[in-house]
């Protein structure tokens, strides 16, 4: 079959005959590379060879076209999605992988989107769109190996939800959908609030909080995270500056520096420029770098040096949650280390306690200020206090709260402390 119009007619014919079939979209992964590496003539031959191999997997009653470039549309008879995947898709992928074209042999990877047409009122356009939606947005699309997704209502709802959240992330600042929350950090010795971590929160149009695990990945994907990190930073600094002018207490505030910032040469100047607009002492500001930092050592050292020269403190977040923690300590001039919550997700026992003990002892030898984060149980509090950590952050003491609630709590604690001092006199 040579053209899309003919395929559409075939689709309508299947519908009229009430036949069981699926519309499948297939794409060759990294085809541009083959075209650029081997030339257009070789690229055209690849497209023909793939088409011919695909044709060998189809029955005479099925249909297929190459729509454009390396995109193929297939109408394949099948009784169900499960049968299609087991009896056609997987064998088809194996046949493609063994394509005799020397450029492609055991080097051809493809992506598939499958829409089983069980609604006989479904138009070709809708089935085609849904199949492409599945192909492009499957969780495994970035894998080097072949990937596929079968359309299900849950998949569509998940897609629509993610796109809705993406819309909120873009419009959130203008519509006041973002808020700054702060989670207090307390002294492991006195239980007094001695710091806080600024955290970004997003609320939908009905005022309900969007789970962070839903909107934060999207912020990173669409690049808004940089803008929102700076928005959050200025929001908190402005409030701290106001409190200083009102002669109210402030404590050290920490801010997460997202990994995506490291691709931006202006990262340091952005934070510096905002800081210069306010009279907040630099030693009251801590920049938290994620444990999963994936940049070269030279860049990391230069960046931390810039922050240090301006008086900022630098912390390593999520320590112990990945394989790069010790490597970062080896070359980076870090002031503060935050021990990851993974050590406290279950009551520490056995090797876990021994490892935690060894980590704290090592960090002390290195002269690090130590924060235990994600602490929720009393026995965990007692453990880290016995080990000699400096600060504790977690639900056992406080959950993240709106910024104004945090400062109100700080004022209340300060008032209670002053009252206690008066009583003791």
pLDDT per position as a tens digit, 153-169: 888 888 888 888 888 88
Tokens 């009905």 sit at which residue?
206
**Which of 266-270, 306-310, 391-395 shows the lowest mean pLDDT across its residues?**
266-270
pLDDT at residue 418 in the model: 62
Q: Which two tokens stand for residue 96?
A: 């493609």
* Sign of the alpha-carbon dihedral angle for 225, 230, 233, 234: negative
Whole-number average pLDDT of the chain: 90
Cβ neighbours of residue 331 closer than 8 Å, sequence gap 6 or more: 297, 300, 301
- Sort 278 into a burial class: Cβ within 10 Å, 0-12 / 13-18 / 19+: middle
pLDDT of 276 > 90? The answer is: yes
Whole-number pLDDT of residue 299 = 78
Rounded CA gap, 138 and 154, in Å? 12
Distance CA 339, CA 322 (A): 11
Q: Are 339 and 359 in contact (CB under 8 A)?
A: yes
Q: Report how far apart the first and last C-alpha atoms of the chain are (Å, whole number).
A: 95
Percentage, residues of the chain above pLDDT 70:
94
> What is the maximal distance between C-alpha atoms in the chain?
97
Model confidence at 379, pLDDT cuts 50, 70, 90, reads very high
Q: What are phi and psi of 398, to 5 degrees?
A: -150, 145
69 closest CA partner among 43, 41, 102: 43
Q: Strands 313-319, 285-289: parallel, antiparallel or unpaired by DSSP?
A: parallel
Which of residues 268 and 322 earns the better pLDDT score? 268
Which residue carries 């064998």 as its tokens? 91
Q: Three-state DSSP class for 147?
A: strand
* Share of residues in the chain with pLDDT > 90 (%): 69
Asked whether the predicted pLDDT for residue 185 surpasses 60, the reply is yes
Mean per-residue pLDDT for 384-392?
97
**d(Cα 67, Cα 74) in Å, to the nearest integer?**
10
Q: For the chain, what's the residue count?
A: 425
Cα-based distances in Å from 283 to 112, 130, 314: 54, 54, 10
Structure token pair of residue 392: 């504790």
- pLDDT of 178 > 90? The answer is yes
pLDDT, residue 272, reads 95
Residues whose CB falls within 8 Å of the CB of residue 423, separated by 6 or more in sequence, listed in order: none
φ, ψ of residue 288 to 5 degrees: the values are: -100, 120
Q: Residue 113: in which H helix or E strand, if any?
A: strand 110-116
Residue in this structure with the two tokens 């193929």, named with its chain if needed: 72
Report the DSSP beta bridge partners of residue 336.
315, 369
Q: Are 218 and 169 in contact (CB under 8 A)?
A: yes
On the question of pLDDT at 424 being above 70, the answer is: no
Chain CA centroid to CA 357, Å: 31
pLDDT at residue number 224: 85
Q: What is the mean pLDDT of residues 352-370?
A: 93
Distance of CA 185 to the CA centre of its chain: 25
Confidence band for 25, pLDDT divided at 50, 70 and 90: very high
Which one has a higher pLDDT value, 323 or 227? 227
Best CA proximity match to 31, nearest among 133, 132, 101, 92 = 101
**Counting beta carbons within 10 angstroms of the beta carbon of residue 288, is it exposed (0 to 12), middle (13 to 18) or buried (19 or more)?**
buried
Q: Name the DSSP letter for residue 324.
A: S
Q: What is the mean pLDDT of residues 402-406?
A: 98
Of 78-87, 291-300, 357-366, the one with minimum mean pLDDT is 291-300
Coil vs helix vs strand at 68:
strand
What angle in degrees, to the nearest 10, is found between the helix axes of 40-55 and 31-38? 140
Alpha-carbon span 390 to 187, nearest angstrom: 6
């Amino acid at each position: 079959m040579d053209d899309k119009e003919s395929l559409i007619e075939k689709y309508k014919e299947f519908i009229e005959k009430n036949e069981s079939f699926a519309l499948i979209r297939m794409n060759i992964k990294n085809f541009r590379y083959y075209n650029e590496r081997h030339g257009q003539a070789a690229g055209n031959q690849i497209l023909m060879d793939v088409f011919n191999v695909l044709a060998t997997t189809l029955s005479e009653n099925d249909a297929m076209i190459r729509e454009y470039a390396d995109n193929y549309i297939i109408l394949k008879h099948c009784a169900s999605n499960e049968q299609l995947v087991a009896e056609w898709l997987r064998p088809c992928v194996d046949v493609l992988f063994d394509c005799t074209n020397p450029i492609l042999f055991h080097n051809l990877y493809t992506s598939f989107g499958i829409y089983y047409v069980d609604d006989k009122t479904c138009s070709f356009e809708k089935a085609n769109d849904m199949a492409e939606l599945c192909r492009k947005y499957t969780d495994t699309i970035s894998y080097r190996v072949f990937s596929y997704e079968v359309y299900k209502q849950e998949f569509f709802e998940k897609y629509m939800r993610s796109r809705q959240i993406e819309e909120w992330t873009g419009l959130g600042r203008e519509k006041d959908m973002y808020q700054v929350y702060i989670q207090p950090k307390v002294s492991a010795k006195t239980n007094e609030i001695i710091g806080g971590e600024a955290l970004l929160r997003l609320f939908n149009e009905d005022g309900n909080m969007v789970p962070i695990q839903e909107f934060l990945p999207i912020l990173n994907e669409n690049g808004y995270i940089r803008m929102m990190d700076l928005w959050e930073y200025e929001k908190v600094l402005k409030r701290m500056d106001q409190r200083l002018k009102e002669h109210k207490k402030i404590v050290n505030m920490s801010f997460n520096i997202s990994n995506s910032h490291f691709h931006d040469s202006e990262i340091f100047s952005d934070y510096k420029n905002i800081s210069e607009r306010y009279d907040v002492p630099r030693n009251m500001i801590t920049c938290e770098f994620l444990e999963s930092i994936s940049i070269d050592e030279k860049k990391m050292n230069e960046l931390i040096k810039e922050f240090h020269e301006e008086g900022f403190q630098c912390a390593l977040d999520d320590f112990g949650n990945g394989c790069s923690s010790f490597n970062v300590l080896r070359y980076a001039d870090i002031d503060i280390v935050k021990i990851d919550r993974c050590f406290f997700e279950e009551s520490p026992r056995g090797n876990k306690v021994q490892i935690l003990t060894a980590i704290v002892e090592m960090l002390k030898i290195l002269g690090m200020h130590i924060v235990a984060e994600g602490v929720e149980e009393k026995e965990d509090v007692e453990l880290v206090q016995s080990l000699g950590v400096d600060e504790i952050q977690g639900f056992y003491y406080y959950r993240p709260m709106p910024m104004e609630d945090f400062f109100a709590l700080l004022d209340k604690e300060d008032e209670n402390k002053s009252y206690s001092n008066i009583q003791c006199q």
